[in-house]
Structure 1
Amino acid sequence: MSEIAPSAFIVKTLLWSPNDWGETGRVMIGEAARRVEVEAHVLRHWESVGVIVPSRDAGGRRDYGSGDIVKGRIVRACQELGMSLREVASILLDSRANRRVVIERRLAHIAEQRAKLDAAEEFLRHVIDCRATDVSQCNGWRRYAGLGPGQVDLTRAE
């Protein structure tokens, strides 16, 4: 199977530094959302579930520091990898042992997805060259559908 390139956001996150904006100060929610590349309501939701809880200024407004931005980018990258917000919270907030369990579970899920994608790719490559006129009789199609062999295997040239 061909190599799948990571998303542009994940690449930027891996290469990103809090100093990329030339400042290390605190920012309000609109600027934080811009830096994390999400809408402000997403940051509010993440706060409501406890994933990122910014401090508040004297007026009660959310006040995001560089650590909050880093966490936000981690949340976003993890979600792009298919992780649920609950899984991301475990990675950010739980003990190292719990974090490891969540990541190992995600890796097992990825391996399962990869196996399914490999099977799908193999099947589609077969379909390109399949000579069967009746696909229900093609052993390649039947194998992919989880059926036993048909009467004749027309998939290979003699």
Structure 2
Amino acid sequence: MKSSPQDVRWSIGDLAGRFELETHVLRHWEDKGLLHPARDSAGRRYYGEDDAYRVAAIIASKESGMSLDQIRTLVDASADGRRDALKQHLVELDRREAELARSRHMTEHALECRAHDITTCPSFQAHVADIVEGTRRGLPWVNGHGTHSS
């Protein structure tokens, strides 16, 4: 017979081990208000199934680049600003995605370029000539004002 979520009780070490974390990480998240473990009569923390799902959400959110403050807003049902925090995170993800696309494009160009040293590549030189001449500032693939084409 399968146990109910109320029957599950993990120690801090057991829960940390399930997620390959050090126990101090769970304590830190508790200090930051992200976790609220129950306590036994001796004051030892214990965690249930709901806590495990919360830890999984924290880890997934951290891996997506969210700060602990953003995550606290995400996992706290009473917190205001959840939608705003998520919208801000989407803006940041879009920025990072564009940055990665520009980096990929530059790397692919360098890989396919006949010039061993990209700085001697005629296409690259043409792409940044106005910066070198002083008529424009900043690289287009860094500040988003253009693309590098071969």
Relative to the length of structure 2, the TM-score reads: 0.72
* Distance verdict in 2 for CA 1:137–1:148, change over 3 Å: farther
Deviation digits for residues 56-110 of structure 1 (CA, Å, limit 9, x no counterpart): 1111110211111110111011111111111111101155761111111111111
Letter in 1 for 2:71: V
Letter in 1 for 2:123: N
Letter in 2 for 1:53: H
- Are 1:82 and 2:65 matched, yes or no? yes
- Which consecutive aligned stretches of 4+ in structure 1 deviate over 4 angstroms post-superposition? 94-97
Q: Please state how far the C-alpha of 1:147 moved relative to its aligned partner.
A: 5.0
Letter in 2 for 1:28: S
Question: How far apart, in 2, do the equivalents of 1:137 and 1:102 lie?
Answer: 43
Deviates further, 53-62 or 97-106:
97-106
Q: 2:113 touches 2:121 (CA, 8 Å); kept in 1? A: no
Relative to the length of structure 1, the TM-score reads: 0.69
Match of 2:11 among 21, 28, 51: 28
Match of 1:121 in 2: 104
Match of 1:4 in 2: none
Question: How far apart, in 1, do the equivalents of 2:32 and 2:119 lie?
Answer: 50
Structure 1 residues without counterparts, runs of 5 or longer: 1-18
Q: 1:33 touches 1:40 (CA, 8 Å); kept in 2? A: yes
Percent identity of paired positions between Structure 1 and Structure 2: 31
Alignment root-mean-square deviation, CA: 3.0
User: How many pairs align?
Assistant: 131
Structure 2 residues without counterparts, runs of 5 or longer: 133-148
* Distance verdict in 2 for CA 1:96–1:86, change over 3 Å: closer
SS at match of 1:107: helix
Match of 2:130 in 1: 148
Match of 2:47 in 1: 64
Q: Please state how far the C-alpha of 1:36 moved relative to its aligned partner.
A: 3.2
Q: Please state how far the C-alpha of 1:32 moved relative to its aligned partner.
A: 1.5
Q: 2:8 touches 2:49 (CA, 8 Å); kept in 1? A: yes
